[in-house]
A and B are shown apart, each in its own frame.
Chain A
Amino acid sequence: MKRKSIIFALSLLVASGISVAQVLNKNKKSKETIYKTVPEDIAQNLPQVKSETKKEMEPFRYEGSKVTYFIYKTFEQRKEVELFFFSNNEYRVIFNSKLIDGDDPIKITIYDQPRNIAGRHVLYSETLSKDGSNKTITSTELLETLKSKLPEVDEFGNPIKVALQKVYIDYVIPSKEQQIEEGEKGERVVIRTKGAIVMAMGYNNV
């Protein structure tokens, strides 16, 4: 009889243990995380922003634009865009930062080589703020900067002919404090703040 009681008690104990675990699990699920991305209107605002950069491209012929999207994180991030030039033409590059978030500016640096190449040269450096004006640079200015950083002749005394066929545009996105809110059902809502930089390019049509 005593043995039966022990077995019965143990069975109840096991079953109760499972129940308690499930209840705890339920409570944990009510704390589940939902990700909400803001602002929701970036895509709608893009045409307007792009039109502004296109207008500023004149008298160069508008070629196209590259939209670089990002989500702010709790640490700085770097995004790189590779851009091609033909050496027989002049290009204008315009950066628009109206779709970034907050007061912290984004840093742009243009290099002659990708990030994995040691000793690459900085050709242009600027900061972009949400309310600031567009930033403009031409391929001629970039080439002149590159030439100023290189020797004029090689080890045999021959002039070095420099051509800027592509550049690498690095954006450094500042960190942003994580925003967490409580949802209607008690769930945790993590706010993901999205931003975008528009880079437009045009070339001398003549």
Chain B
Amino acid sequence: MNKKFYKIALLASIMIGTVACGGEDKSDEGKSKTQKEVGPNDNDTTALDAEPEDLEEYADNDVQLPTALQVAQMMNKEGLDYTEGLAHDPDKADSYSTQLQKKLVFGVYSADLAYCVLNDKFTEAQSYMTVVRDLGSETGLAKIFDSEDLLKSFEENMSDREGLMDVLVDINWRTEEIFDTDPESKKQSMVHFAGAWIEGMYLGSQIVVENKNYELGTTLVEQMNILSSLIKGLKTIEQEGLDKLIVKLEDILNTYNSFESVKANAASENGTFTLPTLSADEVNKLAQKISDLRESIVNA
């Protein structure tokens, strides 16, 4: 009897408890993740500022990197002349399979496109435009190249350097339109930029070494200022294989920072930047490192 009573008492308490628990408010269902966030105490307005806000698009630090066109134009001013066979072969555009390879090579070809346009190599530029469009479409930038007017505009300006430069600016404008409302795409664009940066450095350094053009060498040195920001940006992206690229870029940066001319410049720094002048050996060493990295991308 006693046992039976205890069982009933226990069962009654469990049932009442279960009914109470079953009354859980279901009004959360169907709401977004943000809406479900648990709010702070009513009287604690300071805590309100600690909620869902730390999104990438609201990062406290950001960087505005130069376009491939601007980089090529600055180098062109200092004598980045066209050398046959230096740019990457557009016929190899189909040889890349992973997203990382495609994004990097998209950047490489973007730099080559600007390089051709600035040197009035319009037929070559058209080939690069085609592969840039194809690789762009395969790496999340299809919206830019879907438009017929862009390609039409490119064809209409086929013998006009300034007109083609306007088309490249237009491509950048359309790219920004995507990034302005899609922080993840914007973050991913750092990989595209890495490819363009490496190719720009490759073209520039090869011509510096070949022609002993040290004015162009100064522009290359300025490009090195971008590298630490580029590495920092790449480290925020999760993509298979990217870590290997970052290691190679860090190696280039460390090599550059270990140059005597760079260290001497840093030692005399007076709260601001001055430009180091690299020795011939340093230029050669930097050019070789960049060439090795570029090879690992285009022959991946």
Contact = CB atoms under 8 A, between A and B. Distances in A.
Nearest to B225: A165
B62 A82 contact: yes
Contacts of A87: 218, 222, 275
A154 interface: yes
Given A63-B67, A69-B57, A164 B273 contact: yes
A146 B271 CA distance: 10
A172 to B, nearest CB: 12
Given A61-B169, A73-B49, A146-B272, A79 B16 contact: no
Interface string A28-53: 01111111000000010011001000
Nearest to A118: B271
Secondary structure of the B contact surface, majority rule: helix
B182 to A, nearest CB: 10
B16 A35 contact: no
Nearest to B224: A165
Interface string B19-57: 111011101100100110111101001101101110001
Q: How large is the interface on B (under 10, 10 to 19, 20 to 34, 35 or more residues)?
A: 35 or more
Interface residues of A, number: 78
B34 A113 contact: no
Given A15-B16, A77-B60, A112-B273, 20 more contacts: A7-B9, A15-B13, A19-B19, A26-B25, A33-B40, A43-B181, A64-B172, A68-B62, A73-B49, A80-B61, A81-B63, A83-B64, A84-B64, A89-B77, A113-B271, A113-B272, A119-B271, A165-B273, A190-B51, A203-B73
Interface of A: 4, 7-8, 11-12, 14-16, 18-19, 21-23, 26, 29-35, 43, 46-47, 50, 54, 61-71, 73-75, 77-84, 86-89, 112-113, 117, 119-121, 146, 150-151, 154, 160-166, 178, 185, 188, 190, 192, 199, 201, 203, 205
26 contacts: A8-B9, A12-B13, A15-B14, A15-B16, A18-B16, A26-B24, A26-B25, A50-B173, A50-B176, A54-B173, A64-B172, A64-B176, A71-B58, A73-B49, A80-B60, A81-B64, A82-B64, A83-B63, A84-B225, A113-B271, A160-B270, A163-B274, A165-B275, A178-B48, A188-B39, A199-B64
